Amino acid sequence: GAGVSQSPSNKVTEKGKDVELRCDPISGHTALYWYRQSLGQGLEFLIYFQGNSAPDKSGLPSDRFSAERTGGSVSTLTIQRTQQEDSAVYLCASSLQGRNSPLHFGNGTRLTVT
Amino acid sequence: KQEVTQIPAALSVPEGENLVLNCSFTDSAIYNLQWFRQDPGKGLTSLLLIQSSQREQTSGRLNASLDKSSGRSTLYIAASQPGDSATYLCAVNIQGAQKLVFGQGTRLTINP
């Protein structure tokens, strides 16, 4: 079956521009996560969505970052006024039942801010 | 604050060997622990999930153990193959939160 799909796979943007990253989770998965993976760093939690509950935004590094999940399915991560330190691979994952189930990751969006 | 450490950072072994990857965590109040593999330029693939009440999980040539009280997990790979070459990450699901805390990973190379 189809896995987690992320688009675009690569994005190069100029410092100060806004970017939107998209995630299509596996159908039927109620939980959706965004993580960030930087060179030399581990995976950093950003945000978590579960069904209709309020999202856990505790990992968002600044107010330039926001995310939404429409209709309990597709999610968009938006970064406003991008900075060079935002350059990283942004990974989306979904799971059937939140932390009780294995996470399925997409291939990520590699963001480069020039 | 939960910290996850994986040692070694890199490991290279000849094909056919059995090997063990190590993961340690500082806070034993975990909900579960997962092992993932990551191939270059790809996302993570879940290998095994161990609940906090379990001691081990097995899938094919992989066996993961969990000793929550000592803050340790190991991933045992039997009869290694070149296709096992990847970065292996462990991650703990902490109590009271939905996020996974990841280690830095062990980069494994299996030489034919």
Minimum Cα–Cα distance from A108: chain B residue: B43
Q: CB distance A42–B42 less than 8 Å?
A: no
Q: CB distance B89–A48 less than 8 Å?
A: no
Q: Lowest-confidence range among A82-86, A99-103, B37-41?
A: A99-103
Task: Write out the two tokens for A44.
Answer: 């950093």
CA distance B41 to chain A (A): 7
Q: Residues with Cβ < 8 Å from B41, sequence gap 6 or more?
A: A107
Instruction: Report whether pLDDT(A95) > 90.
Output: yes
Minimum Cα–Cα distance from B39: chain A residue: A107
Distance CA B17, CA A80 (A): 49
Distance CA B68, CA A11 (A): 41
**Could you tell me whether strands A104-105 and A31-37 are parallel, antiparallel, or unpaired per DSSP bridges?**
unpaired
Using one digit for the tens of pLDDT, what is the confidence trace for B42-73? 889 999 999 999 999 999 999 999 999 999 99
Contact A5, A108 (CB under 8 A): no
- Give the model's pLDDT for residue B14: 97
Contact B88, B35 (CB under 8 A): yes
Residue corresponding to tokens 């060079």? A84
* CA separation, residue B97 to residues A14, A58, B40 (Å): 35, 10, 29
- Taking residues A34-52, report their average pLDDT: 90
